[in-house]
Amino acid sequence: DSNEVSEVENYVKANKVDPNPEYFGKAKGKNVIYVSMESLQNFVIGKEIDGQEVTPFLNSLVEKEDAIYFDNFFHQTGQGKTSDAEFIMENGLFGLPQGAVYMTNANNTLQSAPGILKGEGYTSAAFHGNYKTFWNRSEMYRTMGYDEFYDATYYDMSKPEEQLPYGLKDKPFFKESMPMLKELPQPFYTKFISLSNHFPFDRHENDTDFEPGQFGDGVVNRYFQTANYMDSALEQFFNDLKESGLYDDTVIVLYGDHYGISENHNRAMEQVTGEEITDFKNAQLQRVPLFIIAPGVKGEVNHTYGGQVDVRETLFNLLGVDNKDYISFGQDLLSKDRKQIVPFRNGDVITPEYSDIKGVCYDNETGQPVEEGSNACEEASKEATKRLELSDKVVYEDLLRFYKPEGYKQIDRSDYQYINPNP
Ligand code: GP9
Ligand code: MN
């Protein structure tokens, strides 16, 4: 009820950090494009196999003048995988400890990025080469206030060589999205959900000349090939954005949605990384890439420790959108005052110095457990648990029903529906 929402509100407001004045409002009024990079983990960035870069295009964005690359950024997803990543990024709330919030709570009241930005004059659209019912997306997008959802029915799904079990390959997906994107009223807030780099990372041998790796594990070997294909699909998309003139008016956020290589492949990953994959090391491998490309904004490689839940605050502050009143469990990644604590859905917690993994506290520098009796992880763990518990309360009890941020017009999900253009 409204008492419970006050507890959440008090916590959230006490934990808001001041934006960094060097960045606040620097992308005011710009369009937004999110790209969900399927299963892309950070270890591929800068990685070479037999002298060939796996992701030459993404690598070119590291240390580019208008691109901020975060190299200590982690996915925080649970069983909801891609959909959890979407939920976390756009709501500043965590996914659930079990199941997928997209499936279980699609009818909640939310104050999501598309709904908030609507009040700032933005039109919103989601693009994805799979059908709208997958992950219950169309129901959740109505709740979030997405104006348009261009799902597989908007794309040419007739060519077998362009099809995957989850939908359309990335190159035709981005190519065919361009005319629809260009038609949108500006400023727009959009997301593009890629899918070529999906387990079991196959069916792209004729789409790239990148050779599979040789690590004695087909899944790991092919991962480099499909990641390379996604990378060149992104390059094609950037070139098309530049050609269309949209690039200079747009903030682009590229993020890895979740891990691609599970612990079942630790042996091959030991060959890839040249290190033993301990519990500690596996947790560190949950880094995913985050790039924010904003023409006119100062680029850098940013080493802050953060996760998907922090991106919404970061974006809103770049856009100069006042977000003091919105419930979110993230802290702006560009703020100098943020606490660098990364909570995970399995209870692990990572900070710049220590990592609490399966209840054991590790010193990041040595990768070894701290001496017995040390409380090095205690404060961060407490804080992480608090954030997760409050976020779960918001979702399970649908608490945002009772929360009315000033100046925000509540989304009525019955105003939104997504019609198949070729029934
Ligand atoms: C399916 C795609 C993959 O539409 O987003 O979802 P995942 O299996 O990665 O959660
Ligand atoms: Mn995914």
Q: SS3 helix, strand, coil % of the chain, rounded to 5?
A: 40, 15, 45
Residue 31 pLDDT > 80? yes
Q: How far is CA 26 from CA 30, 121, 135, 252, 255, in A?
A: 9, 17, 35, 14, 21
Token couple for 349: 């917690």
Cα of 363 vs its chain's centroid, Å: 27
pLDDT digits (tens, 9 = 90+) for 321-330: 999 999 999 9
Residue that is written with structure tokens 């799902």 in the block? 151
Over residues 88-122, the pLDDT tens digits come to 999 999 999 999 999 999 999 999 999 999 999 99
Of the candidates 138, 64, 139, 12, which has an alpha carbon nearest to the alpha carbon of residue 296? 64
Q: Is the CB of 82 under 6 A from ligand 1?
A: yes
pLDDT at site 112 = 98
Q: Encode pLDDT of 240-299 as tens digits.
A: 999 999 999 999 999 999 999 999 999 999 999 999 999 999 999 999 999 999 999 999
Distance of CA 261 to the CA centre of its chain: 17
Q: Measure 259 CA to ligand 2 centroid, in angstroms.
A: 8
For the whole model, what pTM was predicted? 0.98
| Residue 136 CB less than 6 A away from ligand 1 | no
What was the pLDDT predicted at 423? 86
Q: List the residue whose alpha carbon is closest to atom 4 of ligand 1.
A: 130
**Ligand 1 pocket member 193 (CB < 6 A):** yes
Centroid of ligand 2 to alpha carbon of 81 (angstroms): 5
Q: Given pLDDT bands bounded at 50, 70 and 90, which one contains residue 376? A: very high
Q: Are 136 and 103 in contact (CB under 8 A)?
A: yes
Give which of 112, 79, 83, 67 is closest to 254, Cα–Cα.
67
Nearest ligand, CA 83: 1
- For the question of residue 351 being annotated catalytic, the response is no
- Among residues 77, 82, 123, 250, the one annotated as catalytic is 82
E-strand spans in 331-399? 342-343, 349-350, 354-357, 360-363, 368-369
pLDDT of residue 2: 80
402 Cα–ligand 2 center, Å:
32
CA 38 to ligand 2 centroid distance, Å:
5
Single-letter amino acid code for the residue at 174: F
134 Cβ closer than 6 Å to some ligand 1 atom = yes
User: Before 172, cis peptide (omega within 30)?
Assistant: no
Q: Whose CA is nearest to atom 7 of ligand 1?
A: 82
Token pair listed for 236: 């094609």
Structure letter (DSSP) for residue 117: H
Assess contact for 336 and 20: CB atoms under 8 A.
Answer: yes
Tell me whether strands 67-70 and 306-307 are parallel, antiparallel or unpaired.
unpaired
